[in-house]
Amino acid sequence: MSMEETRKKWQSNPMVKPRIEKVTVNMAVGKSGEILEKATRVLKQLAGQQPCKRNAKMTIRDFGIRKGEPIACIVTLRKEKAKEFLKKAFYTVDNKISKEKFDNFGNFSFGIREHIEMPDTKYVPELGIHGMDVCVTLCRPGYRVKNRRRAKSKVGSKHMLAPEETMLFIKDEFGVETV
């Protein structure tokens, strides 16, 4: 299906047009303590909401990580906060994303090496410089039947998102080019 046909399909049937379900931002520091607290403050400043900490799943002696020790912070953004964060994040990566970053279900992920590259962010020497992973989950209206608690149901194969539709959606919404 061509891009124009897909756009016409989205206009004629609003249940087919993709939307951003959530944006998950992860800062994996690898250590607990002061460096994790600094990363948490940076992520709170960038995302505008309080991040939660994630614990190590196993002990790795070479890295000095113990099971159950907090080593990362994560925040999940939805609706308008997600769109605002994505605009800044796409600006950081020059509005270009590689085709390899998309999965078969219409989701994509990319990394940001330094948080100070994001617009309206100033370098604070006490906090340092941190990188982050941004994971974007897209869905169509009606995907709730797959995840709800009562009367779960399957989503049909025709209603699933394809990577090409995701690329077209972010091109239309954010002006992001896939390379």
DSSP alpha helix (H) spans, the chain: 3-12, 34-47, 79-92, 144-147, 163-174
Look up the pTM and report it.
Answer: 0.86
**Domain residues of the chain, as ranges?**
3-178
pLDDT of residue 62: 86
Integer angstrom CA distances of residue 173 from 8, 14, 18, 87, 111:
15, 15, 11, 10, 20
How does 91-130 read in b/e, with b if 16+ C-beta sit within 10 Å?
ebbeeebeeebbeeebbbebebeebbbeeeeeeeeebeeb
pLDDT of residue 4: 85
pLDDT of residue 63: 81
pLDDT of residue 26: 92
CATH architecture of 3-178: 2-Layer Sandwich (3.30)
pLDDT tens across the length of the chain (179 residues):
678 888 888 888 888 899 999 999 999 888 888 888 998 998 898 888 999 998 888 888 888 888 888 989 999 999 999 999 999 999 888 889 999 999 988 899 999 988 888 888 888 888 888 889 999 999 998 888 888 899 999 988 888 888 899 999 999 989 888 88
**Measured between alpha carbons, how far is 136 from 176 in angstroms, rounded to an integer?**
14
pLDDT of residue 117: 81
pLDDT of residue 146: 87
**Measured between alpha carbons, how far is 173 from 154 in angstroms, rounded to an integer?**
28
pLDDT of residue 120: 82
